[in-house]
Structure 1
Amino acid sequence: MAIRVVVVGAGYTGLAAAKLVARWTDAAVTLINAEDRFVERVRLHQLAAGQQLRDLPLAGLLAGTGVHLVVDRVTGIDAEEKAVRLENSARAVRYDMLIYALGSAADMDSVPGVAEHAYTVATADEAVRLRERIDDSSVVAVVGGGLTGIEAAAELAEAHPDLKVRLVNGGELGAGLSRRGRDYLRRTFDRLGVEVVEQARVSEVRADGLVLADGGHIGADTVVWATGFTVPGLAGEAGLAVDEEGRLVVDEMLRSVSHPEVTGVGDAAAVRLRSGQELRMACATGLPSAQHAARAIADRLAGRAPRPIRFRYLNQCISLGRRDALVQFVHADDSPREAVLTGRKAALYKEAIVRGTILFERYPAIPASL
């Protein structure tokens, strides 16, 4: 009987890992996902701004691979019985090996009022809700100065020039960028008319905007919450070792440190290198990690010793609307170099990277240098 490998989550890492395990081993691979479509999460700010994204049925991306697709929501994992429970099926899906790739979601519970009054770009449905809301808005406050917040603010400002966009950040804008990167980001926001509010900690979200920790108020018809992510609690509920954020703790071969038959990839796994560096949530992390995880599984099934993950970052690519972008080149540990690429060339570079993610999902054995 073939080894049963079950993959939960068909995002960037789960889809690639499932296809690679099916290609590199004789295992029977089952991929479980709540939706029947692949979501280009890195483009959801574009969807919120009114653009259409391509339709990517998972069945088409899996055609000819031998991967069995199950469209259902995972409600639990029984680590002792090695079984995955589903929302719409009385029968659990049993596994010999499990790849945990459930990803992350916007953190809607850390600040009062976020769940009731804020919008996000974390899922396609949420991005569509925001798009519909924008039509009735005159002032939008985007909370969060990370890549998601920066891209969302720029995209909305460019697509809706009559819309007042405010970016509210608890620290300094572009704190992880080089001096040249920060300067370019500020000039771009000035050009787009984005008002930047720094060192502003939000204590509550209301229907009329934001309440700050110092008692101040920032008015907005619509609030976009782009700060902080949370992961599903299924790993911890199953008794798997997790960190303080609920992410599956894995070793250098991406195996669960408590249950070695479980492999973790993507945002829901806490991956640390021998140096102690923790890899950030990003496609740049997830795609090479998916390849490594699938190769490690193939090695174990073939009786070979898997190699520890080796990883280095190259750049951070930030879209600033459709005609502008910022590419921040970084050291191997993700700290910024002074060098940046900006303007139209950077926009083309960024677009090539984003298109490359779909090429990778179609042919995940290609080098993941994204």
Structure 2
Amino acid sequence: MTTRIVVLGAGYSGQMAARLVARAKDVSVTLVNERDRFVERVRLHQLAAGEDLRAHPLAELLAGTGVRLVVDRATAIDPDGKSVVLAGGDRLPYDTLVYALGSRMDLTAVPGVAEHAHTVAVAEEAERLRARLTDGDVVTVVGGGLTGIEAATELAEQRPALKVRLVADGALGGALSEKGRGHLRRVFTRLGIEVRDEARVAEVRADGVVLAGGEHVRSDVVVWTTGFTVPSLAADAGFAVDGHGRMVVDETLRSTSHPDTYGVGDAAAVRMPGGQELRMACATGLPAAQQAVRALLARRDGKDPKPFRFRYVNQCISLGRRDALVQFVDRYDRPKESVLTGRLAARYKETIVRSAYQAQRHPSIPTSL
């Protein structure tokens, strides 16, 4: 008997899950994505800064894999009828669902973001930002996380005529070690990036941002990189979700409320055995996809799946094309004092990014999972 598997989302986690499970016997796999190409999301700050990125058509990536691609947007899930409703009106029946819709930038938390700010969360927005930068002299990047740091340094390096400013509501590099923070400060100084940390943005306007204390910080372009949200399909369909709307899954990545569904990537709340929540990253999404496939196939074959085991190794932050920061961490993602910096770190980061893409073309399941 053929098991019908529908995968929602063709990002890093979804595409890997689809390709891996399609290798099994007696399965039919349908991958649903609203765009016809795979986007290397971790490179979108490069696209915004002016670099031309290679296109990755999904039809080409999936050729010969046995995965059926449906380019459409999922608008609802019917868990009782075990089907997915598409924007085009079709329904896709499933025996097992893999929920991998990812995350998107939260444009509602602060007034004016949706109307006046740009993001680097999706390719179309990064392209619009790229075009907008030709008309501006001052750019304010809001957000001191990894996305904000990478966006600010990339823009400053690739477009030296721009005045680049970063505004963060915490300390710059607050989650890094002392050595990591020191290198970050030196890079920002070298690139001429103005830092306004410990400053919360209360409003975004067409001519800049307004801080919580009322100060207006003028800017021609605002880049918003802080705060993410996830699609509401899981919550709307009655799946167990956390306070952010992410699907709650058990230690095998199976939904805690619907045993025929698995959640992977940013749209799932994945926790390690000790209870720590995995951060949103392809570094966690890829092994989660591998684990979900192993678990669903084990259960299909009447076996007990092993629980997900994961440990952190490092955080890789690009600082333009010629510098980077590799912050080594313990298994719980806490920073060690050791770091790797400079051109060697930049090559390290580029290797990681390329490996994440190659994992889409040649996925595997490590025996350690």
TM-score by length of 2: 0.98
Instruction: Work out whether residues 290 and 365 of structure 2, in 8 Å CA contact, stay in contact via their aligned partners in 1.
Output: no
Counterpart residue number, 1:280:
279
Alignment of 1:238 with 2:237, yes or no, is: yes
Q: Amino acid of the residue matched to residue 63 of structure 1?
A: A
Query: Offset of 1:297 from its aligned partner?
Result: 1.0
Aligned-pair Cα RMSD in Å: 1.1
Q: Distance in 1 between matches of 2:367 and 2:180?
A: 25
Alignment of 1:13 with 2:13, yes or no, is: yes
Query: Offset of 1:305 from its aligned partner?
Result: 0.4
Q: Amino acid of the residue matched to residue 218 of structure 1?
A: V
Query: Offset of 1:25 from its aligned partner?
Result: 4.1
Where in structure 2 are the equivalents of 1:82-93 lying within 5 Å?
A: 82-88=82-88, 90-93=89-92
Counterpart residue number, 1:68:
68
Q: Distance in 1 between matches of 2:366 and 2:115?
A: 42
Query: Offset of 1:366 from its aligned partner?
Result: 6.0
SS at match of 1:172: coil
Q: Distance in 2 between matches of 1:296 and 1:40?
A: 27
Instruction: Work out whether residues 25 and 298 of structure 1, in 8 Å CA contact, stay in contact via their aligned partners in 2.
Output: no
Where in structure 2 are the equivalents of 1:1-370 lying within 5 Å?
A: 1-88=1-88, 90-365=89-364, 367=366
SS at match of 1:76: strand
SS at match of 2:97: strand
Q: Amino acid of the residue matched to residue 180 of structure 2?
A: G
Query: Offset of 1:24 from its aligned partner?
Result: 3.2
Q: Amino acid of the residue matched to residue 13 of structure 2?
A: T
Query: Offset of 1:91 from its aligned partner?
Result: 2.4
How many residues are aligned here?
A: 368
Q: Distance in 2 between matches of 1:14 and 1:150?
A: 27
Q: Amino acid of the residue matched to residue 45 of structure 2?
A: H
Q: Amino acid of the residue matched to residue 125 of structure 1?
A: E
After superposition, the Cα gap between the structure-2 partners of 1:317 and 1:368, relative to the gap in structure 1 and judged at 3 Å, is farther
Q: Which moved more, 1:347-356 or 1:211-220?
A: 211-220
Instruction: Work out whether residues 288 and 368 of structure 1, in 8 Å CA contact, stay in contact via their aligned partners in 2.
Output: no
Q: Which runs of 4+ in 1 moved over 6 A?
A: none
SS at match of 2:338: strand
Instruction: Work out whether residues 106 and 228 of structure 2, in 8 Å CA contact, stay in contact via their aligned partners in 1.
Output: yes
Instruction: Work out whether residues 175 and 335 of structure 2, in 8 Å CA contact, stay in contact via their aligned partners in 1.
Output: yes
Query: Offset of 1:218 from its aligned partner?
Result: 1.2
- Give percent identity, aligned residues only: 66
Query: Offset of 1:273 from its aligned partner?
Result: 1.7
Query: Offset of 1:26 from its aligned partner?
Result: 2.4
Instruction: Work out whether residues 251 and 257 of structure 1, in 8 Å CA contact, stay in contact via their aligned partners in 2.
Output: yes
Q: Distance in 2 between matches of 1:303 and 1:59?
A: 33
SS at match of 1:23: coil
Instruction: Work out whether residues 266 and 285 of structure 1, in 8 Å CA contact, stay in contact via their aligned partners in 2.
Output: yes
Q: Amino acid of the residue matched to residue 352 of structure 2?
A: I
User: What's the CA shift string for 1:70-98, capped at 9, x where partnerless?
Assistant: 0001111111101101111x320010100
Q: Distance in 1 between matches of 2:45 and 2:338?
A: 26
Q: Distance in 2 between matches of 1:133 and 1:41?
A: 20
User: What's the CA shift string for 1:308-344, capped at 9, x where partnerless?
Assistant: 1000011000000011100000000001010000000
Query: Offset of 1:367 from its aligned partner?
Result: 4.8
Q: Distance in 2 between matches of 1:335 and 1:91?
A: 46
Instruction: Work out whether residues 287 and 368 of structure 1, in 8 Å CA contact, stay in contact via their aligned partners in 2.
Output: no
Q: Distance in 2 between matches of 1:152 and 1:181?
A: 18
Instruction: Work out whether residues 360 and 366 of structure 1, in 8 Å CA contact, stay in contact via their aligned partners in 2.
Output: no
Q: Amino acid of the residue matched to residue 5 of structure 2?
A: V
Q: Distance in 2 between matches of 1:237 and 1:50?
A: 39
Q: Amino acid of the residue matched to residue 345 of structure 1?
A: L
Q: Distance in 2 between matches of 1:73 and 1:347?
A: 36
Q: Amino acid of the residue matched to residue 21 of structure 1?
A: V
Q: Distance in 2 between matches of 1:173 and 1:291?
A: 34
Q: Distance in 2 between matches of 1:31 and 1:25?
A: 17
Instruction: Work out whether residues 273 and 309 of structure 2, in 8 Å CA contact, stay in contact via their aligned partners in 1.
Output: no
Q: Distance in 1 between matches of 2:57 and 2:24?
A: 23
